[in-house]
């Protein structure tokens, strides 16, 4: 059946900001869907508040609304655009929930909008626990014993029936927020109460615990003729009890027989039919009792998901794209398989490799957070690796994770072994290795972890082979010193168990360090190294074992002819010819890469998402690829993050799904011999490789690695500033405590301290006095060395921070955007809200900043993008930091000014001039764009939510309006902390802020808000004659602010920290507010901005405008400006 012709305009709901559990996978699926629908001639209207997405690029849809994803805004958009249909299954849980709310509010009926892909009933059946249970019982699929509860009393009675331990799952929440396993009655009651409150429908499911069972997932697709196919099967390495997003997962399923797999397949098909997902993809999870094969269904998501993005990358089957086509009426057999071209999409992909996904965590950012992995997702990103064996894929994944592990290691496993095996945690894999190394038998490990013996055996094989390698290395060491005969080589191994002493063995400078060995011994080494590569060992790991550097190891391996081969991901296990160049490396016989003689440029991606490096950089990498294709280059993408658009097989001409490490990148460079390599778009990951790649002769284009080094190296950078006569805060470096104290005294407290070369402000702190500095230095002692000293900077208290993005080609220097931060300097730029153009800054200061930016770009010879951070205090401009690369703000600025900066920059890097590209002058929009960040504190209960120099946010949103207040209010709403228009506001500020708070209180009172405050703050407000209710401290009993929050009587919390060490009370207040979803402002600047926002909302209802219309306004503006100039010229 052909596509539907009764609909023309389709509204797609995006997923909003990146949060834990909802990351760039929805940019990937959303972008695919938009492309697919437009290919079919439909007009696409999009709502998404996240500016850092390819999806919200003005070219992706006809009409793009960067507005809060709420029913209110949805109605405004529907009213303006009158779409025929809405497709809600591509925007994650956010998109689905918003669609449900809108449908229930009668919005779609009112405007005659059809929901396609899925209907309301199916969503409810899939997501409502009770309905789901009934549906599954109807078709005879087993479920864990369970009961529903809406109150704590109900919960307790359900518990009586089932008995501990139980799993608590709130209905309609994302990534299992609020869920968990309760082992004790106390835990249960706490969890139940929290879950009821978090659930959109105030409902929780209490379930028999099947902790330790095997966990599986199937990705299923259905078309309107009821054809159903399974795209991918996934087995979790971590058994039940760990959220699948936090589990290491493997595709395809490894330990099920065909009989069991087909039973699961049948159940999945029956499930999608019974739930009634009309068309598109669903993710269905199963658990299996390893003792008897008893299978139960856990849940189903009637939409594309994180797992479906993973499944798409794991198989080459583009689930979201096909889902979009099915939604408009096509059937699976009518859609061709992109990869084989000749066969249809109505088949089940078969893979001939093993895929491993490993989550990436950020616990180090949230001291005090519980690091136990539970049914509530906590990871912030993931890496996927492909190998011909599980062992190879696992090791590739581990080195791609960028957690300072070159593969499967145990260095970090220094804690209690059994405790870390028993309790699922982010580092369990390292403890598994240690356990095997220490000789713990696999049965015992299985007893502690419930991890399937098959996986454990594979881990053991890696450990055993590493031992063999170490014995061999020790043998060589002995051999080269004692001149033993080669036949003794193997024998002598038995005598030496730990070869750690080999460092300082044979001289490192000799390239062929085996020259003194006989050919027999060298053959042994050659064979061992090949086997090691087949098992996924990296050159760095092998170097460590043989006492060589990574580079020496690599050179030797190459000399032996041990080179990677690249294989295709082709959906069909080589049964048909594949036309899509999507590659992974392995050590096999045949290489399948077809290189060309065209001019080509390679782009290095950013690896796994983490706090500080996320979707913004992937956005830039994609743009680089698009832009370079436009000007005739062939593009090659290297990345290992399955959630991204960059790893979509049709983003670049060739995709290498590989870890972004020196070894893996060099291998591809040598294979492809690119004319240029771009390292400045993928964030810190490729940037950290820049110098070593450059030294290895890789043609890095754009700003030179030396210039990057000049900006990053403290000493060299100070010299740059001195040359230019620019100011920077007083600073110094220290290796020892004594040095640190000396420097701090010279500079004067407060000082900002941090380790060198960090990302996202890792371990950065503001220190106000000597004891705190001593404390900090002790904490950091391990990581400090002469090459990596602690940096000590004067902290400019109360300064305004400014971010500037610039693009340069060596001739022309154009300011892309000046962003004034809302929060004061000292809060990481990635965590503060900002406004473009500046809303408070004096024109003279702005001019000075632009002048300084241009001077820096010239001095550093920037070709491409550059970001500079300034602080302004008392009218004086200080340079805080220069990053001669794409910054986090590039997509935001691009959308604000209507210019694709990353595209321009990549063309400039490839040799074009800004003049020929037509971008010569800064664009200053007449409207205001506000960026606001989204923080993950709700996932880390009890952790203080205060912002500081260490970045903690996971994502961002954008609010656009003609005035600052409205833009700010929109951004707040999009970030899920809507400003109240009425109700009660709680105020509690430090002494310094008491005067400022008075002005705010006055205005709020004028707008009829009731005010409550802690005694100190209340006193000041009352003294000014404003009505305020004074509350007790929490320790003094009721009524205190927490009581009021519990009763839902507080609508906004304004609470600035009392000193550098927050009081216990404050932490309780702030984290309680977050857990209840009450907006909480922790800076005076934020409070002032909020006030402006509230005032704006009070004056008039907000309006909407598409990004395309905003950009048209900019064009009209510049056209008018040009006309004015030309008319002036004529008059002259």
Partner 1 sequence: MKKQAILALEDGKVFKGYSFGAEGETAGEVVFNTSMTGYQEILTDPSYKGQMVCMTYPLIGNYGVNKEDVESRQPYVEGFIVKESSRIYSNWRAATDLGSYLKKYKIVGIEGIDTRSLTKHLRERGAKKGVISTKDLNPVSLVKKAKRSPGLVGRDLIKEVMCKKPYTWNKKGKFHVVAIDSGIKLNILRNLEKRNCRVTVVPATATKEAILKYKPDGLFLSNGPGDPKALPYIVDTVKGLIGKMPVFGICLGHQILALAFGGKTFKMKFGHHGGNQPVIDVHSKRVEITAQNHGFAVDMNSISKKEMVLTHVNLNDRTCEGMEHKKLPVFSVQHHPEAAPGPHDATHHFDRFIEMMRKRKK
Count of chain residues binding partner 1 (CB under 8 A)? 55
Residue 139 in contact with partner 1, rule: CB under 8 A? no
Structure tokens at 984: 């009660």
3-state secondary structure of 166: strand
**Contact stretch for partner 1 (CB under 8 A) within 154-162, 350-358, 425-433, 1067-1075:** 350-358
Report the distance separating Cα 560 and Cα 524, nearest Å.
12
Half-sphere exposure of 477 (CA within 13 A, CB side): 23
Residue 413 in contact with partner 1, rule: CB under 8 A? no
**Contact stretch for partner 1 (CB under 8 A) within 91-99, 388-396, 896-904, 1001-1009:** 388-396
Residue 354 in contact with partner 1, rule: CB under 8 A? yes
Provide, rounded to whole angstroms, the least separation between the CB of residue 394 and partner 1.
12
Across the chain, how many H-helices and E-strands are there?
38, 38
Within positions 510 to 569, which residues make up the interface with partner 1, using CB under 8 A? 567
Whether the Cβ atoms of residue 948 and residue 766 lie closer than 8 Å to each other: yes
Nearer Cβ to partner 1 (578/1034): 578
Structure tokens at 650: 């049709």
The dihedral through the CA atoms of 338, 343, 348, 349 has a sign that is negative
Provide, rounded to whole angstroms, the least separation between the CB of residue 571 and partner 1.
10
**Contact stretch for partner 1 (CB under 8 A) within 307-315, 481-489, 588-596, 864-872:** 588-596
Whether the Cβ atoms of residue 365 and residue 322 lie closer than 8 Å to each other: no
Residue 252 in contact with partner 1, rule: CB under 8 A? yes
Report the distance separating Cα 12 and Cα 328, nearest Å.
13
Nearer Cβ to partner 1 (219/452): 452
The dihedral through the CA atoms of 525, 531, 533, 538 has a sign that is negative
3-state secondary structure of 933: strand
**Contact stretch for partner 1 (CB under 8 A) within 311-319, 352-360, 403-411, 614-622:** 352-360
Give the start-end residues of each E strand in 313-368: 354-360
DSSP string, 436-495: HHTT--HHHHHHHH---HHHHHHHHHHHHHHHHHHHHHHHHHHHHHH---TTHHHHHHHH
Strand 9-13 with 85-87, pairing: parallel
Tell me how many degrees the CA angle 829-835-839 measures, rounded to the nearest 5. 125
Per-residue x/- track, 256-285, partner 1 (CB under 8 A)? xxxx-xx--xx-------------------
Residue 226 in contact with partner 1, rule: CB under 8 A? yes
**Contact stretch for partner 1 (CB under 8 A) within 341-349, 364-372, 542-550, 939-947:** 341-349
Residue 1109 in contact with partner 1, rule: CB under 8 A? no
Provide, rounded to whole angstroms, the least separation between the CB of residue 578 and partner 1.
10
Residue 453 in contact with partner 1, rule: CB under 8 A? yes
**Contact stretch for partner 1 (CB under 8 A) within 448-456, 662-670, 981-989, 1011-1019:** 448-456
Give the chain's length: 1132
**Contact stretch for partner 1 (CB under 8 A) within 168-176, 589-597, 786-794, 1118-1126:** 589-597
Near partner 1 by CB under 8 A: residue from 81, 452, 765, 831: 452
Near partner 1 by CB under 8 A: residue from 39, 352, 770, 1116: 352
Report the distance separating Cα 802 and Cα 880, nearest Å.
10
Provide, rounded to whole angstroms, the least separation between the CB of residue 347 and partner 1.
5
Residue 346 in contact with partner 1, rule: CB under 8 A? yes
Near partner 1 by CB under 8 A: residue from 63, 129, 357, 388: 388
**Contact stretch for partner 1 (CB under 8 A) within 52-60, 71-79, 346-354, 1104-1112:** 346-354
Residue 119 in contact with partner 1, rule: CB under 8 A? no
Report the distance separating Cα 877 and Cα 727, nearest Å.
7
Give how far Cα 416 sits from Cα of 419, 423, 431, 818, Å.
6, 11, 9, 50
Report the distance separating Cα 784 and Cα 758, nearest Å.
13
Nearer Cβ to partner 1 (256/542): 256
Near partner 1 by CB under 8 A: residue from 122, 314, 351, 1114: 351
Nearer Cβ to partner 1 (285/331): 331
Residue 389 in contact with partner 1, rule: CB under 8 A? yes
Residue 2 in contact with partner 1, rule: CB under 8 A? no
**Contact stretch for partner 1 (CB under 8 A) within 175-183, 394-402, 451-459, 962-970:** 451-459
Provide, rounded to whole angstroms, the least separation between the CB of residue 523 and partner 1.
13
What is the enclosing helix (H) or strand (E) of 891?
helix 890-897
- Residue 863 has φ and ψ, to the nearest 5°, of -125, 105
Give how far Cα 742 sits from Cα of 332, 752, 770, Å.
71, 14, 10
Nearer Cβ to partner 1 (211/353): 353
Near partner 1 by CB under 8 A: residue from 575, 670, 719, 916: 575
Nearer Cβ to partner 1 (282/425): 282
- Residue 312 has φ and ψ, to the nearest 5°, of -65, -45
Near partner 1 by CB under 8 A: residue from 39, 121, 333, 916: 333
Nearer Cβ to partner 1 (388/928): 388
Near partner 1 by CB under 8 A: residue from 164, 350, 842, 1121: 350
Within positions 456 to 495, which residues make up the interface with partner 1, using CB under 8 A? 457, 461
Whether the Cβ atoms of residue 514 and residue 476 lie closer than 8 Å to each other: yes
Within positions 285 to 304, which residues make up the interface with partner 1, using CB under 8 A? 290-293
Near partner 1 by CB under 8 A: residue from 353, 477, 566, 694: 353
Near partner 1 by CB under 8 A: residue from 576, 699, 999, 1062: 576
Nearer Cβ to partner 1 (563/735): 563
Residue 574 in contact with partner 1, rule: CB under 8 A? yes
Nearest of 442, 465, 236, 244 to residue 355 by alpha carbon: 236
Residue 332 in contact with partner 1, rule: CB under 8 A? yes
Whether the Cβ atoms of residue 968 and residue 931 lie closer than 8 Å to each other: no
Provide, rounded to whole angstroms, the least separation between the CB of residue 230 and partner 1.
8
- DSSP 8-state assignment for residue 698: -
DSSP string, 16-33: -S-BTTB-THHHHHHHHH
Residue 812 in contact with partner 1, rule: CB under 8 A? no
Angle formed by the axes of helices 71-81 and 92-104, nearest 10°: 80
Near partner 1 by CB under 8 A: residue from 229, 248, 740, 1011: 229
**Contact stretch for partner 1 (CB under 8 A) within 36-44, 447-455, 819-827, 1124-1132:** 447-455
Q: In the sheet where 295-301 sits, what is the strand order? A: 295-301, 280-288, 214-222, 228-236, 249-251, 354-360, 381-387
Residue 142 in contact with partner 1, rule: CB under 8 A? no
b/e for 433-456, b at 16 or more Cβ within 10 A?
Answer: bbbbeeebebeebbebbbbbeebb
Nearest of 594, 628, 603, 606 to residue 698 by alpha carbon: 603
Provide, rounded to whole angstroms, the least separation between the CB of residue 513 and partner 1.
25
Near partner 1 by CB under 8 A: residue from 111, 347, 749, 768: 347
Binding site for partner 1 (CB under 8 A): 225-227, 229, 233, 252-259, 261-262, 265-266, 290-293, 331-333, 342-344, 346-354, 388-390, 452-454, 457, 461, 567, 572-577, 588-590, 592
């Amino acid at each position: 059946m052909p596509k539907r012709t009764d609909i023309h305009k389709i509204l797609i709901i995006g997923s909003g900001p990146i949060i834990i559990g909802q990351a760039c996978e929805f940019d990937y699926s959303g972008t695919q869907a938009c492309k697919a629908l437009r290919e079919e001639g439909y007009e696409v209207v999009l709502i998404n508040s996240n500016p850092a997405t390819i999806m919200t690029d003005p070219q992706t849809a006809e009409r793009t609304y960067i507005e809060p994803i709420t029913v209110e805004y949805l109605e405004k958009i529907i009213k303006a655009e009158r779409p025929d249909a809405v497709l809600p299954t591509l925007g994650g849980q956010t998109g689905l929930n918003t669609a449900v709310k809108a449908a229930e509010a009668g919005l779609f009926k009112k405007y005659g909008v059809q929901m396609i892909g899925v209907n309301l009933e199916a969503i409810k059946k899939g997501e409502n626990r009770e309905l789901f249970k009934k549906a599954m019982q109807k078709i005879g699929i087993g479920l864990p014993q369970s009961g529903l509860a809406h109150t704590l009393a109900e919960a307790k009675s359900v518990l009586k029936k089932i008995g501990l331990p139980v799993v608590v799952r709130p209905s309609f929440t994302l990534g299992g927020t609020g869920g968990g396993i309760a082992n004790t009655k106390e835990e249960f009651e706490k969890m139940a109460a929290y879950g009821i409150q978090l659930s959109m429908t105030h409902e929780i499911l209490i379930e028999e615990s099947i902790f330790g069972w095997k966990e599986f997932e199937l990705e299923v697709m259905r078309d309107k003729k009821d054809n159903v196919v399974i795209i991918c099967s996934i087995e979790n390495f971590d058994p039940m009890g760990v959220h699948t997003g936090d589990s290491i997962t493997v595709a395809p399923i490894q330990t099920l027989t065909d009989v069991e797999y087909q039973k699961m397949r049948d159940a999945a098909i029956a499930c999608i039919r019974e739930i009634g997902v009309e068309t598109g993809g669903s993710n269905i999870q199963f658990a299996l009792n390893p003792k008897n094969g008893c299978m139960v269904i856990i849940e189903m998501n009637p939409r594309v998901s994180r797992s479906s993005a993973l499944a798409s990358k794991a198989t080459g089957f583009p689930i979201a794209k096909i889902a979009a086509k099915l939604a408009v009426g096509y059937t699976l057999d009518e859609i061709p398989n992109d990869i084989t071209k000749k066969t249809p999409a109505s088949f089940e992909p078969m893979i001939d490799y093993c895929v491993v996904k490993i989550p990436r965590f950020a616990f180090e950012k949230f001291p005090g957070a519980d690091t136990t992995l539970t049914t509530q997702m906590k990871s912030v990103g993931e890496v996927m690796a492909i190998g011909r064996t599980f062992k190879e894929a696992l090791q590739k994944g581990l080195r791609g994770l960028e957690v300072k592990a070159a593969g499967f290691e145990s260095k970090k496993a220094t804690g209690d072994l059994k405790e870390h095996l028993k309790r699922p945690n982010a580092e369990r894999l390292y403890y598994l290795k240690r356990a095997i190394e220490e000789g713990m038998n696999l049965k015992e490990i299985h007893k502690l972890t419930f991890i399937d013996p098959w996986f454990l055996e594979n881990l053991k094989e890696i450990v055993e082979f590493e031992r063999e390698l170490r014995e061999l290395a020790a043998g060589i060491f002995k051999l080269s010193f004692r001149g033993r005969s080669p036949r003794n080589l193997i024998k002598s191994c038995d005598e030496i168990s730990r070869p750690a002493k080999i460092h300082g063995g044979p001289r490192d400078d000799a390239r062929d360090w085996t020259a003194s060995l006989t050919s027999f011994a060298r053959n042994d080494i050659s064979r061992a190294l090949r086997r090691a590569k087949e098992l996924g060992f990296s050159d760095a790991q092998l170097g460590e074992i043989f006492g060589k550097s990574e580079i020496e190891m690599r050179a030797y391996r190459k000399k032996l002819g041990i080179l990677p081969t690249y294989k295709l991901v082709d959906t069909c296990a080589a049964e048909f010819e594949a036309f899509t160049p999507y590659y992974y490396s392995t050590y096999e016989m045949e290489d399948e890469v077809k290189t060309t003689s065209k001019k080509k440029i390679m782009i290095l991606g950013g690896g796994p998402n983490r706090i500080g490096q996320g979707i913004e950089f992937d956005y830039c990498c994609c743009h680089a690829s698009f832009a370079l294709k436009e000007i005739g280059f062939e593009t090659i993408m290297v990345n290992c993050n399955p959630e991204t658009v960059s790893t979509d097989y049709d983003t670049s001409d060739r995709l290498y799904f590989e870890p972004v490490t020196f070894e893996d990148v060099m291998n591809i460079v040598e294979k492809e011999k690119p004319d240029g390599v771009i390292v400045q778009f993928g964030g810190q990951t490729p940037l950290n490789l820049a110098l070593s790649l450059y030294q290895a002769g890789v043609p890095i284009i754009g700003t030179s690695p030396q210039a990057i080094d000049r900006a990053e190296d403290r000493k060299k950078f100070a010299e740059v500033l001195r040359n230019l006569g620019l100011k920077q805060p007083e600073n110094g470096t220290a290796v020892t405590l004594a040095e640190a104290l000396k420097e701090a005294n010279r500079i004067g407290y407060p000082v900002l301290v941090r380790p060198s070369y960090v990302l996202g402000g890792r371990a950065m702190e503001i220190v106000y006095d000597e004891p705190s500095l001593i404390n900090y230095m002790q904490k950091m002692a391990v990581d400090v060395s002469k090459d990596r000293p602690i940096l000590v900077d004067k902290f400019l208290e109360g300064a305004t921070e400014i971010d500037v993005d610039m693009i340069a080609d060596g001739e022309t220097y154009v300011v892309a955007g000046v962003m004034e931060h809302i929060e004061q300097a000292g809060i990481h730029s990635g965590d503060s809200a900002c406004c473009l153009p500046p809303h408070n800054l004096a024109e003279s200061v702005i001019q000075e900043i632009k002048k300084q930016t241009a001077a820096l770009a010239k001095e550093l010879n920037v070709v491409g993008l550059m970001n500079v951070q300034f602080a302004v205090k008392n009218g004086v401009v200080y340079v805080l930091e220069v990053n001669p690369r794409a910054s986090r703000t590039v997509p935001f600025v691009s959308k604000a000014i209507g210019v694709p900066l990353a595209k321009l920059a990549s063309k400039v890097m490839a040799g074009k001039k800004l003049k020929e590209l037509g971008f010569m002058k800064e664009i200053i929009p007449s409207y205001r764009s506000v960026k606001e960040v989204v923080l993950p504190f709700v996932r880390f209960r009890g952790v203080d939510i205060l912002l500081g120099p260490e970045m903690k946010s996971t994502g961002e949103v954008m609010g656009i309006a003609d005035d600052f207040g409205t833009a700010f209010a929109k951004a707040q709403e999009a970030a899920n902390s809507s400003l109240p228009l009425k109700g009660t506001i709680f105020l509690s500020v430090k002494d310094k802020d008491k005067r400022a708070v008075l002005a705010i209180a006055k205005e709020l009172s004028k707008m009829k808000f009731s005010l409550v405050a802690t005694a100190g703050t209340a006193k000041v407000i009352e003294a000014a004659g404003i009505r305020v209710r004074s509350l007790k401290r929490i320790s003094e009993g009721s009524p205190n602010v927490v009581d009021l929050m519990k009763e839902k009587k507080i609508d906004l919390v304004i609470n600035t920290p009392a000193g550098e060490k927050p009081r216990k009370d404050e932490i309780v207040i702030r984290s309680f507010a977050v857990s209840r979803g009450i907006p909480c402002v922790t800076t005076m600047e934020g409070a002032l901005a909020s006030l402006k926002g509230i005032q704006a909302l009070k004056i008039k209802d907000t309006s909407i405008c598409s990004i395309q219309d905003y950009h048209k306004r900019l064009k009209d503006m510049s056209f008018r400006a040009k006309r004015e100039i030309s008319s002036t010229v004529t008059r002259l």
